[in-house]
Structure 1
Amino acid sequence: MSTAAPSSNEHPTVAAVIVAAGSGHRAGGPLPKQYQSLGGETVLACSIAALSQPGVGTLACVIAAGGEALYDEAVAGLPETVARRLLPPTVGGATRQASVRAGLEALAASASPPDLVLVHDAARPFVSAALVDRAINRALAFGAAVPGVPVVDTVKRVDGRGVVVDSPERGALRAVQTPQAFRFAALLDAHRRAAEAGRVDLTDDAAVMEWAGHEVHVFDGEPGNVKLTTAQDMARARAEAEGMLETRVGAGYDVHAFTDGDAVMLGGVRIPHDRALAGHSDADVVLHALTDAVLGALADGDIGAHFPPSDPQWRGASSDRFLAFAVERVRARGGRILHLDCTVVCEAPKVGPHRDAMRERIASICGVSAGRVAVKATTSEQLGFTGRREGIAAHATATLSLPAED
């Protein structure tokens, strides 16, 4: 079923439902996370302000029963240009699905129900104006659209005993974010039908639309559009909001000699060649250099310390596992990757035709946009071992943002 808008509706009215009815206990602290302070403002106020883009008219917040005083205090400092767009808060239900429906019903009962609606988690205060605009445009084009980012970690499906059933191919997987964007009438109808059918287990609005038979499109989300869930998330967010972050830069270098074969792995991409690279793993010099660069920025050893070549479990291993491990160490420290830069040194094969594929693959492994990944190539003017076509070298730099340390 298509929910696309008629092409004649070039200037749709847009509203946003901001879901703030959860208890937020996993984030720690005396208050639900949406009412905790973030750089002098509450998380909820930051999210409301982020959704208050020129293209968004009405703002409808859904809160927990008994949360009116916390809500009033949270929004008291909002600029008048934002506050005047707010409907009175709506009390949510026992589930997120019920809370969203309550917000939609409030919009339906308003003087001017919108053409499009954005549904956003209050716990995502770092959504950018560009992402909000992208959501509106995709909803106008397709009727139902949600932002998503590539899944970095290997995903396992397990049975009731915790035994692995299968491993889905992550290339087709996306971690979905908010704001999710829809034709208002279609989403309201889908929620009403789901409630009437007793379906109360649908975890996001895309799932509600899918259940109702609508086609949902996924567009590019943003790695920085994180959902604040744990105490560690809150600590990282406060550090970012209060300027308590530091920038770290790490360097990495790797080299592998040629051996017999018909392809090389570079940047996670298999490139046909008349030789292969020799190594204990798949000998991907680009991913190895990037791994060391990330670990270097963390001051957390090197690739050999974490994945010693003496350990047989790493024989022939795909090097994306090494880089994903280093990236996870960044996340565990509350950090994020700002930029990755790699230079490949070789006479052959030609890197240029594969540059964009390498950037996309590295970005996917690291959970960042390809715009944060640079891949360059050069020769050594026939000097040294690379000039004699005996092997390939790679130099890498990683720039990270981390909570400041003493």
Structure 2
Amino acid sequence: GVPVVPCHNAANAEAAAEIARTIGQPVALKLHSFDDIPGKSAAGGVALHLDTPEQVKQAAAAMWEDIGRTLPGACRKGFCIEPMISRDAAPELMIAVVEEACLGPVFLLGRGGIACDSQELAAAIPPLDLNLARELIERARIHRLLEGTPGVHGAALESIALTLVKISHLICDLDAIVEININPLLAWNQEVVVADAWLRIDGQAPPIAQRLAIRPYPKELEEILRLPDGQTLLLRPIRPEDEPLYVELFDRLSPDEIFFRFLSRMRTLSHKLVARLTRLDYDRDMALVLVGQRPNGESELYGGVRIMAAPDTERAEFAIVLRGDMTGLGLGPMLLRRIIDYAQSRGIVEIYGEVLNDNRPMLKLCQVFGFTAKRSFDDPEITHVSLKLQSECAT
């Protein structure tokens, strides 16, 4: 979860004072209301550094009267009393998720507290992983302040990124959450904490999968594999954070294995290419990777299979890569079967690929699965293979 300041609710000024007495330290008093009071601090709905129960009682009574006079239509539900926490050297952030008609849920990030400015917000579309969360932070105008200044520690950027990812998971897992507002999120140099937040629930909201502009990580495709030699592997969709693991996989391939996969005598993978291979739009493309564990517990990739769909999504190009030390275990046929099954489930009617004539194991595998093979007119060293699929979506 996301760390929050403990909050105690009170129905009236007297109850708020009694709660402050039990807390036994300076408190913050906030009006408890729905989201019909925008800018609660500016509206007079927040009082800070209240040292005694009597100060809390007086502030609560004045706040109730003032808000009732200036915002007569606001729904006042009581008060929230929180232990006063030091905000020294802690930048205040605002994290929000709002629903846009064309894009669905959208993340907004910027300055929090009374300095919040809608013109300075950076935006991103969920789902967010750590890489995308870091990019969102870097695009926000407050990023320079978060990095720190000479003599002043920067904020806990990784904790902010992790908070964004956790909120993204919340949005993607619960259909009924249609809006979130965290303001402020206090970001010290080692931790973050939510000082105030609200969310809006709509029990009639369409499923989140229909509202997201980008398909979330398809966890349902994860599968545990137990090999005849006793190894246990995880087959799962590739993720953006797999980029360093994919580079390691490439470095373990022989020159011929690289040539067979990429049809090029590449020595290294460019960052641009590996980012394209690991950051997918799951709605169009899919890559399933084999993940094992080293003796020290760290993950490593043994290979994978992918399809890249054409704009009409009816045809998709496929490719397989497998480390040489993992051949002979039936993993190649298994990967091809899994991606064929996935393509059928997505309504793709044909998969195809280009195979070097010298890649006899791949050509034999395609023959076993019923692919049609034709020599390329443009390059006599390449064979085009294709397989018509019976879509599960067909009627």
TM-score range, shorter chain: under 0.3
* Higher RCO, Cα 8 Å, sep 6+: 1
**TM-score when normalising by structure 1:** 0.21
Larger Rg: 2
Kindly indicate which of the two structures has a greater share of residues assigned to strand.
Answer: 2
What TM-score comes out, normalization by structure 2 length?
0.21
